[in-house]
Amino acid sequence: MNLPNKLTVFRIILIPVFILLLAVPWNMGSVVLLGTGISTTYLIAAIVFIVASLTDLLDGRIARGQHLVTNFGKFADPLADKMLVMTAFIFLVELGKAPAWVVAIIVCRELAVTGLRLLIVEQNGTVMAAAWPGKIKTNTQMFAIIFLLLNNIGFSNWHIPFGEILLYICLFFTIYSGAEYFIKGKDAFKDASKE
């Protein structure tokens, strides 16, 4: 197993660690960072999430840069990304830090676009590459999750709901990039018999 695939597997292993941190009442107290009181459990969960997100950044760069792209990586890398982000958003709803309707839209878009991409690969063997709106969506997702877990660290002293702002920016780009994928991939829904 090459290094990018090991990083992907490590990211998948971190998901149950992240779940355990947020699902079990650990009662570890809280810490004050940058003037913000943060549950120690949420801080550790955020660190696990950050480490997992960094492995996502690294594995793709290493795989492409060193020509180590494998079928396992093509399958497991996007799956690990979706599992990590969806898990985090579901817990943010449970913790009262994100509205369920926003998370429902994000999850539905992720599933729909993943299905579309699989359909396109099956039909013509090409992978639909992520465009800049999708990359903005991904980055705002990651940062929104971090800032929501950490009570808007660095911004709470000024009463700026930075995590929530990022969440709604993420929502906009979730819808925009999802629509863009379906417009670009509309030919995937044409039946071969009717062509």
User: What average pLDDT does range 172-182 have in this prediction?
Assistant: 95
Q: Sorting pLDDT into bands at 50, 70 and 90, what band is 175?
A: very high
Closest alpha carbon to 77 in 17, 9, 123, 160: 9
Q: Sorting pLDDT into bands at 50, 70 and 90, what band is 114?
A: confident
Surface-to-core class of residue 110, CB atoms within 10 Å of its CB (0-12 exposed, 13-18 middle, 19+ buried) = buried
Angle at 103 between CA 100 and CA 108, to 5 degrees: 120
> What is the pTM for the complete model shown?
0.89
Q: Which token pair is 70?
A: 């494998």
Question: What is the tens place of the pLDDT at every residue in 88-112?
Answer: 999 999 999 999 999 999 999 999 9
Residue 177 lies in a domain: yes
Give residue 176's domain range: 3-187
Q: Which token pair is 193?
A: 């018999």
pLDDT number for residue 100: 98
Could you give the 3-state DSSP secondary structure of residue 77? helix
Q: What is the CATH number of the domain that holds 57?
A: 1.20.120.1760
Residue 118 lies in a domain: yes
Number of domains in the chain: 1
Whether 2 contacts 70, CB under 8 Å: yes
| DSSP 8-state class, residue 152 | T
Alpha helices in 66-99 (DSSP H): 71-94
Residue 192 lies in a domain: no
Residues in the chain: 195
Residue 14 lies in a domain: yes
Whether 45 contacts 165, CB under 8 Å: no
Residue 169 lies in a domain: yes
Token match 């999430």: residue?
49
Residue 23 lies in a domain: yes
Mean pLDDT of the chain: 90
Whether 147 contacts 163, CB under 8 Å: yes
